[in-house]
Structure 1
Amino acid sequence: MSTGLGRQVELIRQQAAACEQLGSPFYAVLLERLAQEVSEGGSGTGGSAGAAVLDGHELDRGPSALALRLMAAVHRLVLTGGAPDLAAHYPSVGGTGDPDAAWPAFRQVLVEHVEQVRAGLASPPQTNEVGRSAALFGGLLQLVPDGLPIRLFEIGASAGMNLLADHFTYHAADGDAWPAEMASPAGGGESGVAGDDHGVLLDPAWDRVPEGAAPRVRIVERGGCDLSPIDATTEDGALSLLSCVWPDQSARLARLRSALVLAREEPVSLVAAGAGDYVESLELREGTRTVLWHSVMWQYLPQEEQHRVSEHVQALGQTATETMPFTHLAFEPRRLEADGPHRFVVTATSWPSGQERVLGEAPPHGVPVTWWGSGA
């Protein structure tokens, strides 16, 4: 097996392990079978549908999530009715959820729809995971004691649905909630959707309502950027987002479907732009707090783009005053110790002080968040 194919197999197996750990046994098995099939094809034991689909992507960066791009492309075919034999096993469309039974049909999709699946590899996963609002908005609630109106901006916004986070309801595991009048003694069900009266519900969003959380937040401007922004108000846009959700994770699918309804009622302004260009276009405004946030997108930026964004964030911070503050809020993986594992943490830096705080941590999909009190 070539070095490139060997690397692909390793990355697919890493993603299989991640899916198992994060509660998607269905994808874990399918990805492990895919890795085995690619490995055998690369060893000269016969044709490999997986290797054919992935041909030319041997040197893709690990953080670009090649395996998830492939799975999203296949899931899209399932959701559109283009793979009925496979749909019989996909829970997202009422299938059995049996990955072993699904594998032959999955492989056949790679054979019969190779060009469609390969086309899906061109874009990074754009899950627009609604659960990450628990980390982002929960962080914001701790940072607005001055009561100033908020101008909220997001890079890597995908369809921009996390920019609507102030419209969501957040239940804590201890029964409290934000807004406070939505508290329920039941707590902790991760149902994803509360119902018609509640819209998008994250339950449990947090271990507890963040310390010092503002009872109300007034967002007077919101916008974001993405290299390829998705219009969540269209059928095609909704399909693109749904295809990136793992099909056996019903709570995530429910949250997203509920957020799609909200997005049609509260459309968000997005621009097609890189993170560096977008951040360089931002300016602070007197009498408001400008907030720039992002979640699990930093890894997709080239290193030079990361430096460019960081430099301009610092430059914006230098212009901040007590009556024109600026906050950079992120939910991204980072090593808290030099030789430690990556942990998905909520961090915030606010100017004019420029002090960074680590507010808490959460699973990669954002819920539930464990808050660290006053921060670290």
Structure 2
Amino acid sequence: MDLETALRSQAHACDLLGSQMYADLLDRAADDVVAGGPTAAVLAGHEDDPGPSGLALRLAGSIHRLVLEGSAPEVARFYPSVGGTWEADAGWEAVRDLLAARPDDVRAWLDRPPQTNEVGRSAALMGGLLEVSRLWPGLPVRLVELGSSGGLNLLADRFRYRARDGGEAGPADAPVLIEDAWTGAVPTDAPWPDVVSRQGSDVMPIDVATEEGRLTLTAYVWPDQVHRHERLRGALAIAAEHPVDVRRARALDVVEDLRLEAGTVTVLWHSIMWQYLDRTEQDAVRARIDELGASATGDQPFVHLFLEPTRRTPESRHEFWLVLETWPGRGEVRRFLGRSHPHGPPLEWEDTRA
């Protein structure tokens, strides 16, 4: 994918996902690439980066990081995440001047993958975990996550959720409230999951106990989506009180090491990370998941729960489906529970109970 296409494609996606600021900024960056401006110079060497690597988001996150650090005040006045107001013409001029004056500072983050650790995706995770609790009431949960970033979604049971119909679930005093979390018959009557262990993994884990880690996660949240920043701040506060372990490891290494434990249900979870694995690793992870499933028993069940761009049928388009796979099977082994926004809420629950 060429640079112009990468920028315009992401601009269009940002527009669809409610960020007019990034839609404006990335479209103008594409124009600047065509004109041979400073954007082209900053992105030189990345012309052949694959589309799923998120080059445009890496560029935007690197600029946002400089704003959050306080080292780009001339740009900061246009960024809502630090109290500014986006103005398309003046804002782009300020960003373009930054790219021209400090190309090396911006390039510093272009070789790392985006690390959003989007807390809103916990709405989907909790919907799935409630279904697991309905299937195996009283059985403690071991939660294992692939592509965890900073591990914040491993704390999903410590967040509070408000459904579109006004119903709420989760700890009443939680500093994270996910509004408009669910539509449909999410099984909120199931026992609240008893998560007895949490293990995260990532090829480039973020340590949310450090200032650098918190800055990294904040930089990849789109500046004009203030509600997402509020959720992130609340989740970081919970993580400070209840730290989670995120190991540096490939997805394949994690599943190869994973073993089921009697008296617990092991839940392997991931969200919007599958695209970053090459096909060889995807196939190997899938094969190991099937092996774990074959070893599951009623006393040590295994669950694969994921939110990824998925085709429900070979003829369907990709949508962000929450998919539940269970072993030993109860009802349908593979179930499409509902569709989600890429950043999380709402989860539109569609599944009928097995």
Within the alignment, does 1:218 sit opposite 2:194 as a pair? yes
1:138 matched residue in structure 2: 127
Per-residue Cα deviation, 1:240-271 (whole angstroms, up to 9, x for no partner): 00000000001101000111111111100111
Q: How does 1:87-98 map to 2 (within 5 A)?
A: 87-98=76-87
TM-superposed deviation, 1:114: 1.1
Q: How does 1:1-376 map to 2 (within 5 A)?
A: 7-41=2-36, 48-145=37-134, 146=136, 147-179=138-170, 182=172, 197-208=173-184, 210-211=186-187, 213-353=189-329, 355-374=333-352
- Give the letter aligned to residue 39 of structure 1: V
TM-superposed deviation, 1:335: 2.0
8 Å CA contact retained: 1:173, 1:206: yes
TM-superposed deviation, 1:157: 0.2
TM-superposed deviation, 1:374: 1.4
What is the CA–CA distance in structure 2 between the aligned matches of 1:375 and 1:57, rounded to whole Å?
Answer: 47
What is the CA–CA distance in structure 2 between the aligned matches of 1:208 and 1:173, rounded to whole Å?
Answer: 9
8 Å CA contact retained: 2:158, 2:174: no
TM-superposed deviation, 1:336: 2.2
> 1:375/1:67 Cα in 2 relative to 1: closer, same or farther (>3 Å)?
farther
Unaligned runs of at least 5 residues, structure 1: 42-47, 183-196
Per-residue Cα deviation, 1:70-101 (whole angstroms, up to 9, x for no partner): 00000000000111100011010111121221
TM-superposed deviation, 1:370: 0.5
Report the RMSD for the aligned CA atoms in angstroms: 1.5
8 Å CA contact retained: 1:139, 1:348: yes
TM-score, structure 1 length as denominator? Answer: 0.90
Per-residue Cα deviation, 1:276-303 (whole angstroms, up to 9, x for no partner): 0011111000000000000000011111
- Give the letter aligned to residue 204 of structure 1: D
What is the CA–CA distance in structure 1 between the aligned matches of 2:267 and 2:305, rounded to whole Å?
Answer: 7
TM-superposed deviation, 1:134: 0.3
Moved more, 168-177 or 112-121: 112-121
Matched residues, percent identical?
Answer: 50
Per-residue Cα deviation, 1:81-130 (whole angstroms, up to 9, x for no partner): 11110001101011112122101110111112211211201111100000
8 Å CA contact retained: 2:143, 2:154: yes
8 Å CA contact retained: 2:169, 2:188: no
Unaligned runs of at least 5 residues, structure 2: none
TM-score, structure 2 length as denominator? Answer: 0.96
8 Å CA contact retained: 1:73, 1:120: yes
Moved more, 206-215 or 67-76: 206-215
Residues paired across the two proteins, number: 350
Per-residue Cα deviation, 1:303-338 (whole angstroms, up to 9, x for no partner): 111111111111111110001000000000012243
What is the CA–CA distance in structure 2 between the aligned matches of 1:21 and 1:300, rounded to whole Å?
Answer: 22
- Give the letter aligned to residue 153 of structure 2: N
TM-superposed deviation, 1:341: 2.5
What is the CA–CA distance in structure 1 between the aligned matches of 2:79 and 2:88, rounded to whole Å?
Answer: 8
Per-residue Cα deviation, 1:181-235 (whole angstroms, up to 9, x for no partner): 85xxxxxxxxxxxxxx331110111114513652321111111100111011111
What is the CA–CA distance in structure 2 between the aligned matches of 1:315 and 1:23, rounded to whole Å?
Answer: 41
- Give the letter aligned to residue 49 of structure 1: P
8 Å CA contact retained: 1:27, 1:99: no
TM-superposed deviation, 1:272: 0.4
8 Å CA contact retained: 1:166, 1:217: yes
TM-superposed deviation, 1:339: 4.1
What is the CA–CA distance in structure 1 between the aligned matches of 2:124 and 2:340, rounded to whole Å?
Answer: 7
- Structure 2 SS opposite 1:60: coil
- Structure 1 SS opposite 2:269: strand
What is the CA–CA distance in structure 1 between the aligned matches of 2:121 and 2:128, rounded to whole Å?
Answer: 11
- Structure 1 SS opposite 2:352: coil
8 Å CA contact retained: 1:176, 1:209: no
Moved more, 351-360 or 231-240: 351-360
What is the CA–CA distance in structure 1 between the aligned matches of 2:193 and 2:174, rounded to whole Å?
Answer: 17
- Structure 2 SS opposite 1:279: helix
